Amino acid sequence: MTSDPYAGLDLDALDLREQPELYRVGRGEQGVLRVQPYKDELLPLWRFRTPDVARESAAALRARFDDYVAAGDLVGADMARKFLQMGYTRSRRYANHAGGRKYDGPVPEDQRGRSGSHGRRELPRSAEDPDKAESARIFKEAWDAIEQVEAYTDWRSEHRSLHG
């Protein structure tokens, strides 16, 4: 059995707004750059270079989240959450590792797309970049706030129990 919840599906042709039952909530940020049409709608909003840019990005992603919830679009709301989460994790990575590289060497071909160190050595941490740390804090605050939206979290749990 494969760990890819979308194995066998043509993701380039699949519109999960039209077929939300095929969406899999997954773990963490899983699928964030694969699920259409949301990737194309949210990726342009996702930036974390400076705290001001992160603040704008987090606000735009939160506004999209609210729009998706109001429209009854769980997949869109969950994808907006994943982009906020990814803003936090990527900002933290850049805060801890100059240049954003956490591991030594390229990802082996057979390990691409999997989480974890892939058997590679973790690079030593740099001195913390205060701007990236602040960007991470901004995204974490926005992410935590949407995790308090009970209508969304209940809806997500129900979808996960029905569809995965």
Distances (CA, A) of 66 to 16, 28, 36, 44, 84: 18, 20, 18, 17, 13
Phi, psi values for residue 103, rounded to 5°: -120, 155
- What does the pLDDT profile of the chain (164 residues) look like in tens digits? 446 777 777 777 888 999 999 888 878 888 888 889 999 999 999 999 999 999 999 999 999 999 999 999 999 999 999 999 999 999 999 888 877 767 776 666 665 555 555 667 777 777 788 999 999 999 999 999 999 999 999 999 999 999 88
pLDDT of residue 1: 42
- Which tokens in the block code for residue 80? 């907006």
pTM of the full structure: 0.84
Beta bridge partners of 90: none
pLDDT of residue 98: 77
